[in-house]
A and B are shown apart, each in its own frame.
Chain A
Amino acid sequence: MAGMETLNFAFDGGRPLAPFAPTLVGVVASGNLEVLVEPSDDTGCRIAVDTSARGFGPVWEAVLRDFHERHGLGGIAVAIHDMGATPAVVSLRLDQAIAAIAGDA
């Protein structure tokens, strides 16, 4: 996995979403990322990140904590494949994923 970094985050608490199908938004492209959101048996919010940009763990932690605080969702597992997206793009993709799930419900 030289060159790539894998990060795992878990945030406690949050309200569960209504049942939903796994939802994918975004594309693994330069400066972009894909976000897959799936239902989870956990009560919290788990987020796994594969990124080509090493050494940005604290930034990911801040961006993902902000996502969890804004949406307050539990019972979800989020998987991210990142190719150097900026924090703003990451936040927008996460919001897009939640909006897509709400649109399906």
Chain B
Amino acid sequence: MSVASFAEMSARERLAAVVDAGSFHEWLPPAERVTSPHLAQLGVPAAFDDGVAIGRATVAGRAVFVAAQEGGFMGGGVGEVHGAKLAGLLRRALRDRPDAVLILAESGGVRLHEANAGLIAVSEVMRALLDVRAAGIATVMLIGGANGCFGGMGIVARCADTVVMSDIARHAMSGPEVIESAHGAGEFDARDRALVWRTTGGKHRWLCGDCDALVDDDAAAFRAAAVAALDAHRPMTLEELQRESALLQARADADGDNADAFELWSRLGVAEPREVPDLDADALRSRRPAAVAALAQGAA
């Protein structure tokens, strides 16, 4: 069977590949022209969907709400309308109670052209996502686009029940170029791709417990992971949050002197850390240390 690269797909192609064929019903589709009120003033063309498609669909016959961010448009940046579409989808989920909300994330974070509105929008998305999760509706982030999932959307991702990543996907707060700009190439060389991936890539997130399911860059694998996550819930009880906090503190202690990823993996108990970049997702799955597996869903 041929592999369809999830990273190479547009947002709408990804969406079609993850949900049941023909099941997607879009809200605020392109023809409604709900576009950015800010970009034209800056001389930048708008997108008919403001870079995100939202709607309802089924996955394995189960009712879901779904959003897909288009990384090609402004790096998937969250503007006012884009963010309102995400927040609106999540609030509607509270009312209509689908089995899950899937977000196919590809975003550099807040769209700087409309930064204040975008920042507010991202905070509204976080709040709405946590409300949905607290209501017992599974929240699933599927991260596999070439632009990664950074900034505000990086935080949104870690608010969800389940994070699915491919080995070529990236997830972090500040992106590599941002860190280099702020602290210099001596601190972080954004052109060192090996460094970038072992600091933000899917394998690193998996080994550290930030990613719950590591898959190949294959649309069918993302769909399978989405199906598996439809009933995965991370309870938001005080007890659970305290348990997670203790695990995160232990991980931070292991990284005390800001070790390079190789050293951190070693301290966390990953055998032969130098082999990690050359392993495929299947081979890597058995290497996640128990201590961080406890942070993730469906501990391996």
Contacts and interface: CB of A to CB of B under 8 A. Distances in A.
A32 interface: yes
B47 interface: yes
Given A2-B43, A38-B31, A81 B72 contact: no
B43 A52 contact: yes
Contacts of A81: 45-48
A50 B46 contact: yes
Q: Which of A27, A28, A34 has the most CB of B within 10 A?
A: A28
Contacts of B47: 27-28, 34, 81
Given A27-B72, A29-B72, A32-B72, A22 B44 contact: no
B44 A4 contact: yes
Interface string A20-36: 00101001110010101
B73 interface: yes
Given A36-B48, A82-B45, A27 B73 contact: yes
Which one of B10, B31, B45, B48 has the greatest number of beta carbons of chain A within 10 Å?
B45
A79 B46 CA distance: 12
A67 B48 CA distance: 22
Interface in B164-181: none
Given A81-B46, A82-B45, A22 B30 contact: yes
A83 B10 contact: no
A3 interface: yes
Interface residues of B, number: 18
Contact of A22 (B29, B42, B72): B29
A1 interface: yes
B10 A34 contact: no
Interface in A34-93: 34, 36, 38, 50-52, 79, 81-83
Contacts of B49: 24
A35 B106 CA distance: 22
Given A28-B73, A34-B48, A22 B43 contact: no
Interface string B61-103: 0000000001011000000000000000000000000000000
Given A1-B40, A36-B30, A36-B31, A51 B45 contact: yes
A2 B44 CA distance: 9
Nearest to A26: B10
Contacts of B45: 4, 28, 50-52, 81-83
A1 B43 contact: yes
Nearest to B39: A4
A29 B44 CA distance: 11
Contacts of B10: 27
Contacts of A28: 45-47, 72-73
A4 B72 contact: no
Interface of A: 1-4, 22, 24, 27-29, 32, 34, 36, 38, 50-52, 79, 81-83
22 contacts: A1-B40, A1-B43, A2-B43, A3-B43, A4-B43, A4-B44, A4-B45, A24-B12, A24-B30, A24-B49, A27-B47, A27-B72, A28-B45, A28-B47, A28-B73, A29-B72, A32-B72, A34-B30, A36-B48, A50-B46, A52-B43, A52-B44
